[in-house]
Structure formats: structure tokens, C-alpha cells
Amino acid sequence: MSRTLHLALHPYGVGGPGQHGLWKDPRVAKNASIDINYYIAQAKAAEHALFDALFIVDSQFINSTYPAHYLNRLEPLTLLSAVATHTRHIGLVGTASSTYNSPFNLARRFASLDHISGGRAGWNVVTSFDTGTSRNFGLDEHLDYTTRYGRALEFVQVARGLWDSYEDDAFPADVARDVFLDPAKLHALDHEGEHFKIAGPLNLSRSAQGQPVIFQAGVSEEGRDLAAQVAEGIYAPGGTLRQAQEYYADIKSRTASYGRDPEHIKIFIHGGPVVAATDEAAVRREREIFEEDNDFDRNLALLGRSFGAYDFSGHDLDAPFPDVAHLAEKGGRTGAAKLIERARTEQLTLRQVAQSVSEFRRSPFVGAPTTVADTIEQWFAAGTFDGINLAFRNNDDLELFVDGVVPILQKRGLFRTEYEAETLRGNLGLPVPANRHTRAPQLVNG
């Protein structure tokens, strides 16, 4: 097989959505989500296993019902800047909202991380899922879907323009000629669009990989189109093998329709492997994990996130699912629409909808190391993903995967035995974007 697998690590901390009981695990420090040493240790373990990236999610709104990790966690770029000084190869991907940031400021922060890490930064572009975030930024309500995605597209375009402010040889630093900067190679952006008016230039040069890698998680039509236009990495919803194949083919096709090389967009699905000495032990452990996390009240609160953090607790649980469609338009519209349609067609109560969202679903990546490696190989060969964004409940589970599954994937030629490059782009096999002011093609970063 000519393709090689990519692996990323998504730390859980004390437990995000659906991991309601994780903070109770004696192997998980109760302050894991705010302990930089926890993240450094996770990143070092992933780097030792030759993973491509460490991925940090984020949101900027909470209430008391939110998952433990959401209640008390570090800001992604600050976190990743600290991790960068303790690692050499692993990519550092942080989530930041295009709705609640300004392009100049965020472009500068990601470019700074890119320099601090030697060219390993990535930006996961989100438009913000939680509608309550608007009130933390002086707005009465969340932007609608069309506005959010139009703003996101322009935001990325502006950021990329700012990252090209300096040509690569703009700083001769020639003492003999008394020339530090060649001013002809510094370029203002002078952007004026529908959402932003930004002069530039950015006061930071391009990094070893040219620009941070753009990631996105596109599920809706608008999201998939945004991903196809600008993303270089995608966090895909996963699902069944057939669903993952359909999503993979759709994104690659959309990417080509925008005149881009489909190989220059890497699709990662979420994977929460459960690895044990035998298949039977792994299946038992998977069920135990579900029971540890199965908290109805918290699942009901989590259901509200798709509807603007709506509080369903005041409704009769055994009455028909309430009419809350109007709350989904500015929240998690795609997922909410599916829930509403299912509740309508199957005549489900609120209790049944909440239970269906949190019902036990088998992961495909459960079993002894060989079984898990077999499934990964099968899915990879079937065209479902380019990589897996892996999440483990604790360090023991990470070690089981690294020590048991990774060597098998390496022996089969599916995963690297050493890093190919010093940068995130290089390890993902992505080209260095040519500076728009230079227009000379550049080879894949090594």
C-alpha cells in the first residue's frame, strides 16, 4: 500500500462530552485539565510513538452542567506553546473560533506558535458550537449559519494573507550594508471584504513550514464546503464503515471541484480504541466504560448543547419531544435536525431522545492488539480515512495502544518507523504554500 497512516492524539483530561465518569478514575489526576505537565507527558508519549499531532479542543462558554473537562481547562495556544518547548517533532493543533476572534490577533498567535515549535503549528478552525458564547463577547445572540461560515472563509483567507506579509528572504540582516530588512519584500494586505477590513502587514515572518496547517471539522453542507475550500486536515464524524467511506469520498470530491489536489487534504476520524490482552477482555472493558459514564442527568444536559445550551430539565421526560427547532438554527443545526426528525418519525419522548443520544455503541477499534490493527488496516484500505484522531481515557490505555498496536502497524508498512520531517506539513506530506508575493513553487517540506 503506497499510502501511510497518520495518527493524532486528543487528550481527554478529566473527561469531555460523554466521559462523565472519567474524573473519578483513580489513575486520572483531578487537575489533569489544568496541569501542563499532564499535557507535556501525553505529547512526549505520542511523540515517542511517532504520532503526527497533539490536538487540543476548546470552547468559550460553560454552565454548571457541562462536562468536567470543559469547566476548568487551559487555553489551547498557551498550552501548546508550553508543550512546544518540550517536544521536537509532534505537530501542535489548537482549536480557535473564527466567530469570536480577530484575524490579525489570531494570525499572529498561531504564527508565534509556529515559530516557537519550529514549524509544527496547526489551527482547527471552528465557527463555535455553543450559542451562549455570544454573551461572553458583548453580542446579544450567536451569528446564523450562513454568516458564520462566510466569516470563517474570509477569516482564513485574511490569516493566510497576513502570514505572507514577508517574503522568505526579506531579512538579509547585512551589517556591512546596514540593511536588516529589504522593504521591497514586506507587503501590506490592504484587505477589505464583507466581514473584515485589515491593513496589515503582520509583524512576524513565515515559519519553517510556511504557514500553520489549517484543520476543520465539516459536517453540515456549509462545513463540508468550507473544509473543501481551505482545510488541509479534517476531523471527520466517523460512524459506520460505509458512512466513513461516503464522507471521505464526498470531501475528496468537493476538494477536487475547487481545483485542489485531494491528496492535500488529510481526513482524520475519531477513534477511542479499547485494547486488552484478549478480544473478550476488551469487549468487557468497553461495556464497563459505558456504564462508568452513563449519567442520565448529564446526558440530558449535554443534549441541550445542540439547542443553544437549552435546559430540558423543566420538561416532562415522558411527554413528546418538545418543539425546539428554532433553537437549533444558530447552534448545532445539523445534529439537532437529525434528532428532531428522528423524534418526529419515531414519536419519541424527551427521555427516549436523551437515551438514544447516549446509547451504547460499539467502537470498531476494540480487541487484542492484532484485532485492533486488523480493523485499522481494513478501514484504511477501504478508503475511510487518512488518519485517526485517537483518544484514550488514561495513560495506561495510551501505552497499551502504543506498545501493542503501533508495532503491528509498523511491521505491516502502514505506519512510519521514523519521522519524515521536522515540520507538521512535512510529516503529513503536505506542500509548503508558496508565498503569494514570490509565486515560486516549493517542494514538500522535509
pLDDT at 5: 97
The DSSP string of 228-297 is HHH-SEEEE---SHHHHHHHHHHHHHHHHHTT--GGGSEEEEEE--EE-SSHHHHHHHHHHHHHHH--HH
> How sure is the predictor about 443, in pLDDT bands with cuts at 50, 70 and 90?
very low
Q: Taking the domains of the chain in order of start, what are their residue ranges?
A: 6-280+365-428, 295-357
Whether the pLDDT of residue 400 is over 70: the answer is: yes
Whether the pLDDT of residue 192 is over 50: the answer is: yes
Phi-psi region at 358: left, alpha or beta (left = phi > 0; alpha = psi -120 to 50): alpha
Rounded Cα distance, 2 and 288, in Å: 38
> How sure is the predictor about 446, in pLDDT bands with cuts at 50, 70 and 90?
very low
**Partners of 213 in beta bridges:** 122
Whether the pLDDT of residue 25 is over 60: the answer is: yes
Q: What are the tens digits of pLDDT across the range 131-145?
A: 788 889 998 888 888
Rounded Cα distance, 13 and 54, in Å: 13
Q: Dig out the grid coordinates for 148 from the structure.
A: 458564520
The DSSP string of 55-89 is EE---S---TTS-HHHHS---HHHHHHHHHTT-SS
Rounded Cα distance, 419 and 246, in Å: 30
Tell me the pTM: 0.93
Contacts (Cβ under 8 Å, ≥6 apart) of 303:
312, 339, 353, 354, 357
Residue 201, preceding bond cis, omega within 30 degrees? yes
Q: What are the tens digits of pLDDT across the range 303-356?
A: 888 787 788 988 999 999 998 888 766 556 677 888 888 888 999 999 999 888
Q: What are the tens digits of pLDDT across the range 34-77?
A: 999 999 999 999 999 999 999 999 999 998 989 999 999 999 99
Percent of the chain with pLDDT over 90: 77
* Binding residue positions for FMN: 58, 95, 149, 220
Residue 203, Cα to own-chain centre: how many angstroms?
27
6-280+365-428 in CATH: which number?
3.20.20.30
pLDDT at 333: 67
H helices of 294-394, in order, are 296-303, 325-328, 333-346, 350-357, 369-381
Mean pLDDT of the chain, nearest integer: 93
Percent of the chain with pLDDT over 70: 97
> How sure is the predictor about 396, in pLDDT bands with cuts at 50, 70 and 90?
very high
Beta carbons of 388 and 269 less than 8 angstroms apart: yes
DSSP 171: -
Query: Average pLDDT for residues 235-247, to the nearest whole number?
Result: 93
* Binding residue positions: 58, 95, 149, 220
